């Protein structure tokens, strides 16, 4: 006699039920391998009945045929936790995994998709067309130039003052980190389906981050462009499998984060005003003997961009 009551076999396959916290559907215990086949929206999985589960297993077996025939034409990375999407352009199928081991969707099951930068729309796609919005992110990153210059200067000034104390760089001085929020946090992707087990799949791709000790606008923009290339590949892939006949992208208006052009001009002005103010501050520091002539000259050249 064991310590635990003997459990009846799995009602689906007759297999052994795990000793430890076996999953249940309605009130019946299910074996791990059968339960592991469930790949559907959590809301639907949570209220699955035994009959519903048996119907799902028929769908699962049919979908297995698509998994077996899946030919990966393209693989796109777009998630922090190594989320991928793979496309099969011969069959017009796709699967949200790096191998066809999850539900394989047929392109026609995708009703629409949206990709946003936080809450600002970037792409919208459906049978009505693929719509692209102008992103304000590069511009907003550029507008952060003066803030970044200020941070780097403060950091350098702190070092200079520190040197003055005892002639050495104080290694124990607290590090300064650039912690101004980036122009946006993530590309939010939503796929809407016409499918018995999926209504919507949401996932995101983190936006670029500033280096916290050496922030640089150009690095940020380069990294943004690399992410954007992946997003464009994703859009092209979804269009190919789901909406092959709709016209090429139409361009929408700026997504409300700023007016292009005007802000860029404004940035340049703000930046040069800032530079002059900063040079004056450094000149005062030099006159007080806090920094040397050489340090002042270096700073001045940096600020003027010469």
- Tell which one of 1, 2, 6, 13 touches Zn ion (CB under 5 A): 13
Q: Is 25 in the site for Zn ion (CB under 5 A)?
A: no
C-alpha dist (Å) from residue 173 to 49, 166, 235, 244, 295: 62, 13, 48, 59, 21
Q: Is 17 in the site for Zn ion (CB under 5 A)?
A: no
- Name which of 148, 114, 140, 142 is nearest 257 in CA terms: 140
Q: Is 231 in the site for Zn ion (CB under 5 A)?
A: no
Q: What element of type H or E holds 148?
A: helix 145-166
Q: Identify residues 147-176 at the interface with Zn ion (CB under 5 A).
A: none
| Count of residues interacting with Zn ion (CB under 5 A) | 6
Strands 250-254 and 129-134: parallel
Binding piece for Zn ion, criterion CB under 5 A, among 11-19, 58-66, 115-123, 273-281: 11-19
Residue 36 Cβ vs Zn ion, minimum distance, rounded to whole Å: 9
Interface pattern 27-66 for Zn ion (x via CB under 5 A):
----x--x--------------------------------
Binding piece for Zn ion, criterion CB under 5 A, among 8-16, 201-209, 228-236, 297-305: 8-16
Residue 60 Cβ vs Zn ion, minimum distance, rounded to whole Å: 12
Q: Identify residues 95-124 at the interface with Zn ion (CB under 5 A).
A: none
Q: Which residue is it, tokens 């009551």?
A: 5
At a CB cut-off of 8 Å and minimum separation 6, what does 276 contact? none
**Contact, 237 vs 87, CB < 8 A?**
yes
By three-state DSSP, how is residue 184 classified?
Answer: coil
Residue 255 Cβ vs Zn ion, minimum distance, rounded to whole Å: 49
Q: Is 12 in the site for Zn ion (CB under 5 A)?
A: yes
At a CB cut-off of 8 Å and minimum separation 6, what does 134 contact? 251, 252, 253, 254, 255, 260
- Name which of 147, 285, 154 is nearest 210 in CA terms: 147
Residue 57 Cβ vs Zn ion, minimum distance, rounded to whole Å: 10
Binding piece for Zn ion, criterion CB under 5 A, among 5-13, 62-70, 71-79, 249-257: 5-13
CA atoms within 13 A on the CB side of 162: 14
- Name which of 265, 269, 266, 289 is nearest 277 in CA terms: 269
Residue 51 Cβ vs Zn ion, minimum distance, rounded to whole Å: 16
Q: Is 11 in the site for Zn ion (CB under 5 A)?
A: no
Binding piece for Zn ion, criterion CB under 5 A, among 24-32, 132-140, 233-241, 252-260: 24-32
Interface residues with Zn ion (CB under 5 A)? Answer: 10, 12-13, 15, 31, 34
């Amino acid at each position: 006699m064991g310590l635990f009551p003997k459990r009846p076999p799995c009602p689906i396959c007759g297999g052994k039920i795990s000793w430890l916290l076996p999953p249940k559907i309605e009130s019946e215990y299910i074996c791990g391998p059968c339960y592991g086949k469930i790949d559907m929206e959590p809301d639907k999985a949570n209220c699955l009945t035994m009959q519903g589960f048996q119907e799902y297993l028929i769908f699962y077996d049919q979908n297995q045929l698509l998994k077996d025939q899946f030919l990966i034409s393209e693989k796109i990375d777009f998630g922090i936790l190594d989320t991928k999407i793979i496309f099969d352009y011969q069959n017009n199928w796709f699967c949200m995994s790096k191998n066809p081991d999850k539900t394989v969707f047929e392109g026609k099951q995708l009703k629409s998709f949206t990709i946003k930068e936080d809450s600002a729309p970037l792409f919208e796609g459906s049978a009505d067309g693929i719509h692209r919005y102008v992103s304000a992110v590069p511009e907003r990153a550029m507008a952060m130039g003066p803030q970044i210059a200020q941070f780097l200067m403060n950091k350098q000034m702190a070092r200079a003052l520190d040197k003055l104390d005892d002639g050495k760089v104080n290694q124990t001085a607290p590090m300064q980190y650039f912690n101004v929020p980036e122009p946006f946090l993530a590309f939010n992707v939503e796929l809407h389906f016409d499918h018995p087990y999926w209504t919507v799949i949401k996932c995101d791709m983190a936006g670029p981050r500033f280096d916290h000790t050496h922030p640089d606008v150009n690095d940020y923009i380069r990294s943004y462009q690399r992410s954007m290339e992946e997003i464009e590949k994703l859009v092209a892939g979804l269009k190919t499998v789901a909406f092959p006949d709709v016209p090429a992208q139409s361009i929408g208006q700026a997504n409300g984060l700023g007016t292009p052009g005007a802000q860029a001009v404004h940035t340049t002005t703000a930046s040069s005003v800032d530079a002059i103010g900063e040079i004056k501050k450094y000149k005062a520091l030099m006159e007080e003997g806090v920094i040397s002539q050489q340090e002042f000259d270096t700073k001045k050249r940096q600020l003027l961009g010469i």
